[in-house]
Amino acid sequence: MPEWNLTAAGTVRCSTLGGDLRPRLVGMAETPPGPSWLAALIDSGQAAFGDEPAPVTGPALVWRPWRRGSRARFEAGTLGAYTLMGPTALAAAVGHMPESRELREMADTAVTAPLARGGDSATTLRAAFAGIGREIVSRGPAAHAVVEAHLRVILIEAFRARPGQPAGAARAAPSSRIFARFGAMIERNFRDRWTVQDYAAALGTSRDRLGDVCQRVRGIGAKDLIDRRVILEARLQLEQSSNSVEQIAGLLGFQSAAQFTTFFRRRMGRPPAAYRAHVQSGRSAGTEHDGNLFEWP
C-alpha cells in the first residue's frame, strides 16, 4: 500500500479498489501507528465497516475514525479508493478556516454520504483520491502540500454531507450560535493574542455571558478555549515546521520566546524544544505522535 511518512505531511496511506476478484480486507496491517482516520470512495460495489450491521453500497463517500482493531471489507468487484491518515496529516488538512472547529468535530464521527452517480461530488472526490495516490508515488516538489489539499477536499465533502446539517444549524440554540461564532472568531484572531474581553466585545456580548456560554456548551471557560487553540497551533508548528522556538513565539503573538516557553510548559508539561525532540524521536522509532491534536474546543 503506497505510504507517505514525511514530517511535512505525516502518515498518509492510499490504495485504489480496482474490482478485484476477491474481497479486499483492510485491518491492522494497513493501520498507521496511533490514532488515524479512514476515507473511502466507493464508486460501485459494497463495503462493510467493523461491526456495523449494514454494508455501504456505492456510489458513496465513507469517513470513519480508525483505531487499532478497526477493519473494513471491500467486496469482490468493488471500484473506488481509500486512504488512511494520521493526526498530523489530518490537522494539516483541517487547516485554519472559520469552519476548522466544526471540521475537527466532524473528523471523529462516522459519515456515510450517498453520491449521485456521475455527479459533481463524485467527480471531485475521484480526482482527490487519485491525486493523493499520484503524489505519494511521485513525491515531487511540494507534494506534501498537494496531498494536504486533496485531503482537505475529501474532509470538506464529508463535512457537507453529514446528516441533518442545514436543519440543525437553523434550529441551533442561541448559546450554540454564539459558541459557533466564537470558535470561528478564534480561528481568525488567536495569533493576535486577543483576550476574552476582545472576543466578547466583537461578539456584542459581555465577558461573563461568553464564559457562561462556553461552560454550557463545552464545560470549560472561554480563556481555556483560546489557550487550547494557541497550543494546537504551537504543537503543529513544532511538529511540522523547521521554525525556531523564537520564530514560533513571534508567529503566535508572544512578546518573547521565554513568555511562549512558560505558556507552553504550563499546558504541555515540557518546554517547546523538549516537546519537539520527543516527537522527532517517536518518528525515528517509526511511530507517529499520538497526542490529541483535536482537543479544541
- CATH class belonging to 3-166: mainly beta
In 95-221, alpha helices (H): 100-107, 120-138, 143-161, 165-170, 174-189, 196-203, 207-218
Selected from 3.90.470.20, 2.40.50.140, 1.10.10.60, 3.40.605.10, the CATH number assigned to the domain covering 174-284 reads 1.10.10.60
- Global pTM? 0.67
Query: Look-up: residue for cell 487550547?
Result: 228
> Each residue of 229-249: pLDDT tens digit?
899 889 888 987 889 999 999
- Give the residue-averaged pLDDT of 170-178: 71
Q: pLDDT tens digit string along 114-143?
A: 999 888 999 999 999 999 999 988 888 888
Q: Which residues make up the CATH 2.60.120.280 domain(s) of the chain?
A: 3-166
What pLDDT, in 10s, does the model give residues 16-68?
Answer: 999 999 999 998 777 766 678 999 999 999 999 998 999 999 999 999 998 87
* pLDDT recorded at residue 111: 93
d(CA 78, CA 20): 7
Q: List every span in the chain annotated with CATH 1.10.10.60.
A: 174-284
Q: Judging by beta carbons within 10 Å of its beta carbon (0-12, 13-18, 19+), is residue 22 exposed, middle or buried?
A: exposed
Q: How is residue 16 written as a grid cell?
A: 485504489
